[in-house]
């Protein structure tokens, strides 16, 4: 079946002004689908709007404002059914947990966890009513591993993965599929958009300080992931009748997550007898 013979699907993509989000929007449009894309800067998508006309709708959205999220989702649903939701928007606060302000922690969790939860919930009933849909959660290898300086980021991504695992089991009977995507280091501009805490002397020379120096010296061009290739793979899963629950993308993701899961499994197995020891004695 050619692209023109396939049914036109409607995507809803957050964080579409650049990086992976923009590549996903572009890929969907070039394959004949419609997209509602959200961004903090609409002008970043002007070229795609000019090229694809009314198949692209762009909404300005600040994900730290739940009322704005609800309004944009409502407008999108009034325009017609949505087949594929991609919660892509994100950023990372870098620094020791002790150095982070309450506002930094709150904003990080609102963007990485609360907004995707609210958006996912808003689309579940319409997807059930229409007989199915796809929800794609852009997590990270940081949803399975943890490094110093990223505690708030990991809290958001690990939380998103737990939420998505649970929801995926809740809606499977309705042909609503939830896929968690775990990219590794990808050239999306993410590295240059890191937000750093104010550094304190206590953490300057320990693991936090060393990680901070490493991140400050690492540019996007040093990252191995190609966002266009990631977008093509993710798009491909939306054509599969039974898409994967998790999608690790990048050899760095595979290696890091494999090592972390191996360590956790070894630690769990070593505690088998201790785990059994807390049961009531017959």
Range scoring the smallest mean pLDDT among 4-18, 48-62, 94-108: 4-18
Residues 6+ apart with CB under 8 A from 208: 95, 96, 148, 149
Total number of domains in the chain: 1
* 186, β-bridge pairs: 225
Residue 282: inside a domain: no
What CATH number does residue 236 fall under? 3.40.50.720
Catalytic position from the list 17, 140, 151, 157: 157
pLDDT band at 223 (very low <50, low <70, confident <90, very high): confident
Residue 211: the pLDDT is: 94
| Mean pLDDT, residues 48-65 | 93
Task: Exactly one of 17, 139, 140, 151 is catalytic; name it.
Answer: 139
CA nearest neighbour of 95 among 216, 6, 259: 216
Annotation marks residue 153 as catalytic: yes
208 pLDDT higher than 60 = yes
What is the residue range of 149's domain? Answer: 3-276
Residue 137 has pLDDT above 60, yes or no: yes
Q: Does residue 124 lie in a domain region?
A: yes
Q: Does residue 128 lie in a domain region?
A: yes
- Residue identified by tokens 């956790």 is 264
Mean pLDDT rounded to a whole number for the chain: 94
Convert the pLDDT of each residue in 66-114 to its tens digit.
999 999 999 999 989 999 999 999 999 999 999 999 999 999 999 999 9
Tokens of 19: 């990086």
Contact 194, 94 (CB under 8 A): yes
Least confident of 60-74, 180-194, 237-251: 180-194
Least reliable range by pLDDT among 61-65, 120-124, 126-130, 146-150: 61-65
Q: How many CB atoms within 10 Å of residue 98?
A: 11
Catalytic residue flag (residue 157): yes
Find all residues with CB under 8 Å of 3, minimum gap 6, and list them.
31, 32
| Cα dist from 122 to 20, 58, 73, whole Å | 23, 19, 7
Whole-number pLDDT of residue 82: 97
Query: Which sign, positive or negative, has the C-alpha torsion 125, 126, 131, 136?
Result: negative
Highest mean pLDDT, choosing among 64-78, 153-167, 192-206? 153-167
Confidence of residue 168 (pLDDT cuts 50, 70, 90): very high
**Mean pLDDT computed over 157-161:** 98
pTM given for the model:
0.93
- The per-residue pLDDT for 220 is 77
Rounded percentage of the chain residues whose pLDDT exceeds 90: 85
Model confidence over 171-191: pLDDT tens digits?
999 999 999 999 998 788 877
Confidence of residue 3 (pLDDT cuts 50, 70, 90): low
Q: Which of 17, 140, 151, 153 is catalytic?
A: 153
Residue 266 has pLDDT above 80, yes or no: yes
Mean pLDDT within 138-149: 97
In a domain, 281, yes or no: no
């Amino acid at each position: 079946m050619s692209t023109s013979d396939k049914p036109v699907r409607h995507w809803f993509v957050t964080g579409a002004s650049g990086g992976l989000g923009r590549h996903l929007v572009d890929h969907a449009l070039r394959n004949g689908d419609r997209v509602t894309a959200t961004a903090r800067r609409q002008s970043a998508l002007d070229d795609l709007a000019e090229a694809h006309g009314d198949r692209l709708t762009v909404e300005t959205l600040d994900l730290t404002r739940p009322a704005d999220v609800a309004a944009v989702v409502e407008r999108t649903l009034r325009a017609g059914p949505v087949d594929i939701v991609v919660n892509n928007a994100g950023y990372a606060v870098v620094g020791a947990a002790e150095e982070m302000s309450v506002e930094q922690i709150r904003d990080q969790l609102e963007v990485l966890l609360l907004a995707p939860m609210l958006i996912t919930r808003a689309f579940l009933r319409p997807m059930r009513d229409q007989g199915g849909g796809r929800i794609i959660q852009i997590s990270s290898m940081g949803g399975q591993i943890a490094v110093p300086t990223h505690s708030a980021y990991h809290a958001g991504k690990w939380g998103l993965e737990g939420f998505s695992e649970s929801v995926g089991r809740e809606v499977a009977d309705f042909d609503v599929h939830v896929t968690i995507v775990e990219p590794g280091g990808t050239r999306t501009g993410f590295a240059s958009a890191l937000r750093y805490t104010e550094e304190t002397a206590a953490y300057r020379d320990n693991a936090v300080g060393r990680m901070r120096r490493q991140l400050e010296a690492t540019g996007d061009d040093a990252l191995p992931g190609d966002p266009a290739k990631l977008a093509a793979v993710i798009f491909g899963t939306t054509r599969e009748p039974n898409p994967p629950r998790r999608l690790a993308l990048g050899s760095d993701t595979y290696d890091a997550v494999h090592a972390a899961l191996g360590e956790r499994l070894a630690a769990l197995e070593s505690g088998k007898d201790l785990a059994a020891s807390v049961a009531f004695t017959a």
